[in-house]
Amino acid sequence: MNLEISYGEFGVKPPVIKPIPEFLLEVTEEGIRELISKHYDAIKESDIMPLFPKNREEFEQAKVNSADFFIQICGGEAYFTKNRGAPRMVGRHAPFRIDAKARQIWLELYKPLLEELRESGVTETSLYSFWNYLNVFSIWMINIK
């Protein structure tokens, strides 16, 4: 697959398209929880680790909150809204200093995980749809120059 990272900078908010329903159907809720868990574990070993909770329980809870969000945005149960309230993603990221480099690292860490899903039989159409969502919406989260 050719998972390209679009140029992104502070202040730019390109239109976002949610992942197609096939992504959740193919990957399943459990698969999304596993994907998010692996992404957070990869973050732990990366240069953006200082942005994330140091406490083990908080870190594990962050995985749950994030997976709740992604299941919801992919068309599944509204777990995030139920457990955390309105998504307000830009506002929720405001306390963290996220620059273009941090976004790039965050996205890079998804690439091998999406390759794994492809190898396990998830269609490229679904994976590209999910990737495009991450690629574009992550630009919104950049909050410093």
Q: Which residues bind ligand HEM (CB under 6 A)?
A: 48, 51-53, 62, 65-66, 69, 84, 89, 92-93, 96, 98, 102-103, 106, 134, 137-138, 141
Residue with smaller CB distance to ligand HEM, 57 or 119: 57
Residue with smaller CB distance to ligand HEM, 65 or 123: 65
3-state SS, residue 33: helix
3-state SS, residue 144: coil
Residue with smaller CB distance to ligand HEM, 114 or 134: 134
Residue with smaller CB distance to ligand HEM, 42 or 62: 62
Residue with smaller CB distance to ligand HEM, 13 or 119: 13
Least distance to ligand HEM, CB of residue 16, Å: 9
Rounded-to-integer distance, Cα 114 and Cα 128, Å:
9
Looking at the chain, how many residues does it have? 145
Least distance to ligand HEM, CB of residue 112, Å: 17
Contact (Cβ atoms closer than 8 angstroms) between residue 124 and residue 118? yes
Least distance to ligand HEM, CB of residue 141, Å: 4
61: tokens are: 């809870």
Least distance to ligand HEM, CB of residue 97, Å: 9
CA distances 25 to 21, 31, 52, 112, 133, Å, are 6, 10, 30, 21, 17
Task: Report which of 23, 33, 27, 34 is spatially closest to residue 125, judged by C-alpha positions.
Answer: 23
Least distance to ligand HEM, CB of residue 69, Å: 3
